[in-house]
Amino acid sequence: MFVLGITGPIGSGKSTVSGYLKDKGITVLDADQISRDVTASEGAAIDEIEAEFGFKAIGPDRSLNRKYISDLVFNDNRKLDKLSAIVHKNVFIVIDKRLEEEKKNKTKCVVLDVPIPVNKGFVDHCDQIWAVTCDDHIRLSRLISRGMDREDALRRMSVQMNNDEYAALGDHVIDNSGTREELEEQIDELIKAELNGRGIRLSDEKSE
């Protein structure tokens, strides 16, 4: 089974790349969605978060109190790191399990869509990584258009790796600073070179 990692900074469009592959029939494991699952009502990370940050960090329905926890970690990198470590650990437990299931099902290719490319659970699981980059001013504009406060968007951008660091991590770099058509052209080229070349056919491709 070929494990393809898709990563990139917030606002870069990595989820657009993963979504394009998903629409073509590739199985995608979305770390953001899994993160929401493990912090939802009675999620796998809830008890550990409560033990670390107190009962106020958990809502009445036993889900993460996002407003409280956001205010708590906003200007405290130590607390943010602790929260991230708890969530990431539980996310990658789920990913490990899903990868084993896909391997048993003889799935040919699985995409890991992960915003923070940690070594254990992402880099060490991937056969190849595609890094999605984008000019910072375009990323900021996208985040604001999604309804994010400018200061919050800038803060989130500042605590992540920059474009160059993501590019250095990737086996291939996809620049999403242009049009959707330009983005899809880059993806299609990589599909032909890296997936088709390994016998991985997508749902809209005819067998030769």
Show the domains of the chain with their CATH numbers. Answer: 2-195 (3.40.50.300)
Candidate from 24-28, 140-144, 157-161 with smallest mean pLDDT: 157-161
Distance between CA atoms of residues 208 and 203, nearest Å:
13
Q: Which of 100, 98, 88, 91 is nearest to 34 (CA)?
A: 91
Cα 169 to its chain centre, rounded Å, is: 14
Over residues 45-49, the mean pLDDT reads: 97
- The pTM score is 0.89
9 in Cβ contact with 114 (< 8 Å): no
Over residues 124-146, the mean pLDDT reads: 95
Over residues 6-30, the mean pLDDT reads: 95
What does the pLDDT read at residue 205? 53
Candidate from 42-46, 150-154, 167-171, 199-203 with smallest mean pLDDT: 199-203
Which segments of the chain does DSSP mark as H helices, in order?
Answer: 14-23, 31-38, 46-53, 66-73, 77-104, 136-145, 150-158, 163-169, 180-190
